[in-house]
Structure formats: structure tokens, C-alpha cells
Structure 1
Amino acid sequence: MPMSETELVRLVLAVKVYQMDHGSSPTKICKSVVNEDIISTLPEALRDKILCCLPIKEAVGTCLLSRTWRYTWASMTELMFRRADFASGNDNADDDRRFLKFTDMFLFLHNGPILKFGLNTIANEMVSTGGHLYRWMLMLSRNKIKEIQLQTSIRDSYKVPSSFFSCDELEYVYLRACVFTSLHLPPPSKGFKQLHTLRLEYVTVEGNSLGDLVASCPNLEKLNIRGLYSKSNINIRSTKLKVLKIEGWFTHLNLHAPYLTSVWIGLELNSDTDGASTTRCNFNLSPFIASLSDVETIRFHGHILEFGGLLPFQCVEHEFLILKQPKLFNRLTEISLEINLGDLKEANFALCLFQHAPNLRFVKLKLISRNSVVPTVHFWESIDRDVCLFQNVEVLGLFDFTGSSAELSFLKLLLEDAPVLRKVGIIDKGLHRNVLKYLLKLRRASRDAEILIL
């Protein structure tokens, strides 16, 4: 990270104080500053810090400063190669060649450990890092690398090189537009024992390679996957995982991570399918939630409530029975759902969450109007008012509010049942004036509650 102006001022003052404490007057200090080659006498660690704050091309240019700096760039510990830094505004193909050649030569001449390596080609639809990427990864695997960030274009998809799995000292990984296979995965005993954060974007998973990868990271705490594509069975098991985010298209997902504090799961529709009726996700959501003990935040978006399995709920003559009583989630303070409040299955699932989250403070609902297999039939009006569901809720957010009967009934229930409610934010889809008047007349248990139509 670059030093702030305050930090630089403190550094200069510290040097001056040190010199004055050792008998140097301000006048002598000024003369010594003029006569002394300060740049060449900087400590090696500080020189490395300065270079790591510069664009890579400018860092190499410091070889002209002095003899001491001539080869300092060749031992930099943090490297970030950006394709945009090589844009000339003329021939993109020529810029690509210069960028690839520069990166090749830099890594070939580099001497010493590389703790952090970054590659960014997103801004330019650069095609075919191809063999270069495999060669660079091989070099990195021999340099005690601790952090890798490969931000490549989605048009430049690649299979993760086998040498990546030899980087056994990794602590942080961000990969984009890649394909995982089980062919080169290490056994759990030789995995990434220091890896704490794994971030993937637009990733294709073959077989259970993702589950095997997580299994090889015994200390993984954060798993963030955006744009997942998988037709295989994914089995993720981790006892150290704290933060989980999975968004994408998948057909089979089995999760066992009992100590999660934050969960975000979003299911997208496959663009190849003809319609929602052909989509199915084999993921039993409720047993997964019931296995959690420390969860603080739950977010379910996309079509996960529509197509994910909501056992232990069983439909019996248009009513849902709870087959297994979940435990209380005493740490759960935030729930965010993409939900059809007019569907009995989804509404009952949400109710079950609310009933077992006594310390819930924030509720965010993205409202979906879709055809309901089982309509709610006045579901929210029939809730027992003697049971205070929202006793600690402070903020409610409703997105894409249409003013349907189910949505109005839910809002009425919460307003009458939340004694400490402060704010209700509603983003509507062109509400009728009569609906707006109805909203403003609803009785509120909290005197401080305000309704904002955004």
C-alpha cells in the first residue's frame, strides 16, 4: 500500500529529531541533506516498498537513478502487471506483444522471492495469455508466492495450470475466467495449508474439483464464488469456513460448514434452458441452515427458493408442515431474501427463519412476482399475533414492491409487530395512489418508524 502524506511527514520528522538528538543543528541538517545522496542510502526494505507502489514500468525505470537502484527492481516482492499500462492507442495486437514480452523478461530476470503477483487484462480483451500464463505460474511456484490475483478476460478462459497447486505457501487467491479439473489437484495432505481466502469469478467446475480444492485448504475462512458454472455434484465440507458466497448456475450442491457466520447463495437460470420449468437445483436448503450454529447473516438470492429443495417442509393439502424443528439462531441479525411472498412454500420458509431468529435486526426482501405452485391463501394474515416475530427488527427494505395482497399483508404484519422499528425503505414499481395512502395509514407498533418510498 502507498504511504500517505502523513506517514511521509512523520518519517521526515523522525529523521530530523534523531539527528538533532545526536548533536546536529538544523543548519547542519540542511547542509547534510544537500550533500548526501539520500536516495542511494535508503534501506532496502523502504526501496522495495517504494517500487511496489509504482506501476511496474515506472519501477523498472528507477534503474537510472543510481548504481544502488540499478537492479533494485529485480528483487521486488510485490508485482502487478496491468495490460492497460501498455496501451499506446494504436495497434492493440502490438501492445499485447509488448506486454507479454515485458512480463516474460521481467520474471526471467527477477531474483528473489515474489510474495504477491497480480495480472490484470480485463480492460483489454486480450486473447491468449495461453502458454505465457502456464510459464509464469511455473516461475511463481518456485518463489514462495503468498498471494495470486489473476484478473483475466472472460474471453481468455484457461484451465488452471498444474504448477498452481505447487504454490503451497499461498494465503490469498483470486482467479477469474478459469476452469477447474480434478486432474492436477493435490491430496489434502499436500494442499494449501495457509490459504485463508479463495475468490473465484466466472469459473467452470468439472466433477467435484471445487469440493476437493476446499478440502485441500484446512484453514480456509472465506470462499467467494461469482459466476459459477457446474453440471456435476459439488460437495463442500469445511469446519473452518466463516464466510461463504456462491452465485451462479449449478445443479447439485451439498454444503457442510457448521461454523459459518455469513452465507450468500444465489442460483441463476441457465441461459441454455428453454424456461424455468426445466430448471432444477438439487440443494436441500433447510437442513443446511439447520446445521449452522454461528450464522449472523443469511442471503438467498436468485431462484434458490424457487428451485432449491426446501425440506424439511412437506406439502399436505396446500399446507406446509415442519418435519424438523430448527434450533434458535441467536446470532442471526440480518436476513436478505429474493422471494415470492405469494408462494406458500417460500413464505413458510421465510416465516420459519423469522421465528428462529430472536435477535434479527435487518430484513431485506427483493420481491418477485412469479406463478405460484401453491398460493399463500391469506398466509400472512393468519399468523398468530401473540408471538412477536420482529421484536428487535430496526430496518426493513422492500425492493420491487408491487403492492400485491401478499406484500401488503406482510408489511402490515411487520409494522404492527416491530416495537423498535426505525425505518422502512420501499422501492416500488409505480404504486397506485390508493396503495400509497393505505401504506401511510397502517398502524405501527413503533412511534419512531418511518416509511420511505424511494
Structure 2
Amino acid sequence: MKTRSMYKAERTSLNRLPDPVLETILCLLPTKEAVRTSILSREWRYKWTHIPKLRFELRDTTSELTSDIETAMNAMDMYDVYRVLLLHRGPIHELTLYFDHYWEHYEAFECDQIILHLLRNHTLNKLTLFGLYETEDIWYKLPASVFALHHLTDLHLCTFDIDHPSIFNGFGSLQKLVLSYVKISTKTLLHLLSNCPSLNTLDLHIDDYEHVDNCTINELLKCLPLIEHLTISGDVSQWLVLDSVPQELPTLIHLKYLCLNQYCISGDYGSAFLLALIKCSPNLEHAHLEMEYLLEFSVVKDKYSDVWLAHLNTLDLCFCSSSLEIEFVKFMLARSPKLKKVSILTVVDRKQDAKMVKTLLRAPRASRGVKICTWK
């Protein structure tokens, strides 16, 4: 058994850690656990009050207790959040809030109070709000106070009904925007994007189509002049007009990473949508494309014969290995002189995998150091 002197020696060694190291350790803990470190010693009592990152997992205390003890221990109610914010002494730069059936009781008012407190006393740079991710047909109304956080550089919203107030003047410093399973009109979306002049990363998944009006691919890309990382998920044909995709789109000169899931690259206009995006991204370095459905690639490929990707070095694909999709890979290999790795996820048997690889290896440039990997 450890003696009192041994415990004292351990506490002393912990206390000797540099403050930046202690801060990093505390920031990696859930906020409730970081607060509990105040019982370790007199020196640790107020260290948590200076950490710049806070993460709260809010749980309705009137609901049934979870069988997951660890989750229950980390969960907090709104009273706990208020106490932490009032006792906190240092600046707060990052805030993450997870809601688990909590909004049904407190709604947006409680969240507004938290954000308004941060607005008055701190310069918040990163905000993450997670709703009921696994619950269908439920969207939380996004608090209007979020749009007053003009110093935000990162904003991540999940399962929210988004509508900006009339006095919204934009996020001048916002660089990264993630909208996961949100309900938002394309009018609001375009207004939001056009008022984020520094935006370089966009991850977009619109999940409610009944209340979405259409916009064109041109309108969307014109709002993203500085975009470097673009991810589009969900069935965009429900809200993004694809039947008149022009060959010439606004050039995304800064785009380096493009990710499209299978619902984006499907249907009658999936091929045109894909090739139009590729053509307007001359500096693309990494493309992740999911093509699990048959495409009419051969019908439109001749219109995009002038595509040239001088900087593409990594290509990730998911498809059924049809002859048309193999033609697409050959098309990309022939137009990507710096391509070094092609990763292919297939849903066919290994014999077909081997046949597909042999076909691809006969494509132009495949014999010039391109590594082709197939996965099941």
C-alpha cells in the first residue's frame, strides 16, 4: 500500500508540470471531469477555471437514467453549466454543447443565455452544437444569439433548423462551417455563405427537403471564392438544380479537397455534376468520390475532354465496378499527371476486383508509379 509520503510525492510531481501541459491535459477531459480535478490538491483547485475549451454533455435529469455509467458521470444539466461559467476565470475560446433530449424541456432560451454570457465576457472562436443526431424528424431551432458571435472561426451545427435574423451582418472571421443534417432554405444558405468572406472549409448535409427551395450550382459556388475543402452529402438533387449544369462554372482556384457521397453522384445528372465540379477545380489535390450507382458517364465525358488536374495526387473511389465507372477511372488517370494513389472500395467479389485492377493498369499513366488499392 502507498504511504502518505508516496501520495504527496505524486502530487508534487504533478504540480511541477508546466502550466501549458496542465492546460492541455485538462482540455482533453470532459468539462465535468476537468472540474473534478479541483479536489486533487490546493494547487489544482482553480486550475480548471483557466482552460479555454469547454465541453458539456447536457442530459435531462428528469429522464430515465442511462445504463452507461461513464456517460452518466460526464453528463451535466443546465445548472452545472451556469456554475462552471460563473466560476471560470480565464478566456473561453471553444465551446461544445451536446443535447440529449434536453431541448424538449429548456428549448432555445437556456442556450441563448449561455451564448449571451460568452458574448459579453469572452471572445469565442469555435462553437459546436449537437442535437439529437440519431432521432428522425427532430430539429432544434437554432438560437438567434449564435449569429452575434462575429469572432467565430469554426462553427459546427447538427440537427438544427437554421434561419438567420434580419440584422445578421455575416461572420467575417469564419473559416470552417459544418452543417450536418440541418433544415435550412437555400435562400438562407446562400445568404449565410455569401456573408462568410473568409470561409475555406464547408461540410454540407441538408436533410429536410420539404422546406427547401431550389438553387443552382452556379449560385452555390459563387458564394465560395476561397474554398479549399468542400464536402457535400445527402441527395442534393432535392435542393440543387442539376438539370442545367453548365460546362463553365466559377473557378474554384483554391479548392484542394473535394468529397461527394453517392447521393450527389447519382441520377440522370450525376455525371454532369461531378465532371463540372472537377473541371472548375484545377488545383485539386485529393478527391473522395462515392459512386455506388450507375452513371451515364459515357454520354457526357466528351464535353469535358479538356479537363486537366495538374495537382491531383490522391483519388478515393467507391463504386460497383461497372464498365462505365472503370471508364471514369481511366479518364481521371489520363488527366492527372501527379496522381500517386488510387484507393477503390468495391462491392463485388475478388475475381472481379482482380479483373478491374488489370483493366486499370492498362490505362494511361497507371504504369508510372500510381498505386492502385482495392478494398471490400
TM-score, with structure 1 as normaliser: 0.60
SS at match of 1:328: coil
Give me the whole-angstrom Cα distance separating, in 1, the residues matched to 2:17 and 2:318: 56
CA 1:41–1:287 in structure 2 vs 1: closer, same or farther (change >3 Å)? closer
In 2, Cα distance between equivalents of 1:408 and 1:41 = 59
Deviation (angstroms), 1:241: 1.3
For the residues of structure 2 that align with 1:261 and 1:207, how far apart are their CA atoms? 25
Query: Does residue 150 of structure 2 align to residue 168 of structure 1?
Result: yes
CA separation in 1, counterparts of 2:330 and 2:24?
53
Alpha-carbon distance in 2 for matches of 1:321, 1:45: 55
CA contact (8 A) 1:250 1:267 kept: no
Q: Which has the higher contact order (CA 8 A, sep 6+)?
A: 2
Secondary structure, in 3 states, of the residue corresponding to 1:323? helix
What runs of 5+ residues in structure 1 fail to find an aligned partner? 1-32, 270-275, 368-398, 429-454
TM alignment of 1:384-403, pairs within 5 A: 399-401=347-349, 403=351
**Match of residue 414, structure 1, among 348, 353, 360:** 360
Q: Take 2:34 and 2:126, find their aligned partners in 1: how far apart are those partners?
A: 20
Q: Does 1:157 align with 2:157?
A: no
* Partners of 1:42 and 1:410 in 2: CA distance: 56
What runs of 5+ residues in structure 2 fail to find an aligned partner?
1-7, 67-71, 242-248
Match of 2:213 among 232, 238, 243: 232
Shift of 1:151: 3.0
1:264 is matched with 259
Of residues 81, 94, 101 in structure 2, which corresponds to 1:103?
81
User: Corresponding residue for 1:222?
Assistant: 201
AA in 1 matched with 2:274 = L
CA distance in 1, matches of 2:158, 2:200: 19
Match for residue 249 of structure 1 among 229, 232, 235: 235
Q: Is residue 226–residue 248 contact of structure 1 (8 Å, CA) maintained in 2?
A: yes
Instruction: Report the Cα offset of residue 267 of structure 1.
Output: 3.9
1:138 aligns with 2:109: no
In structure 2, what is the equivalent of residue 298 of structure 1?
A: 287
CA contact (8 A) 2:177 2:201 kept: yes
Instruction: Report SS of the residue matched to 1:336.
Output: strand
Asked whether the 8 Å contact 1:146–1:172 carries over to 2, the reply is: yes
CA distance in 2, matches of 1:348, 1:42: 58
Partner of 1:354: 333
Which of 172-181 and 62-71 deviates more?
62-71
What one-letter code is carried by the residue in structure 2 that aligns with 1:242? E
In 1, distance between residues paired with 2:334 and 2:318? Answer: 18
| Cα distance, 1:98–1:333 mapped onto 2, change above 3 Å | closer
CA contact (8 A) 1:181 1:207 kept: no
Task: Describe the SS at the equivalent of 2:235.
Answer: strand
The CA distance in 2 between the partners of 1:38 and 1:363, in whole Å, is 49
SS in 1 for 2:367: coil
Q: Is the 8 A contact 1:300 1:337 kept in 2?
A: yes
Supply the distance in 2 between the matched residues of 1:48 and 1:141 (Cα, whole angstroms).
23
Would you say how many aligned residue pairs link Structure 1 and Structure 2?
Answer: 337
- Decide whether the 8 Å contact of 2:321 with 2:348 is kept in 1: no
How many Å separate the matches in 1 of 2:304 and 2:281? 14
CA RMSD of aligned residues (A): 4.4
Contact 2:202 2:231 in 1 (8 A): yes
Deviation readout 1:292-327 (Å, 9 max, x if unpaired): 1110112221568748xx6xx6x4xxxx66134324
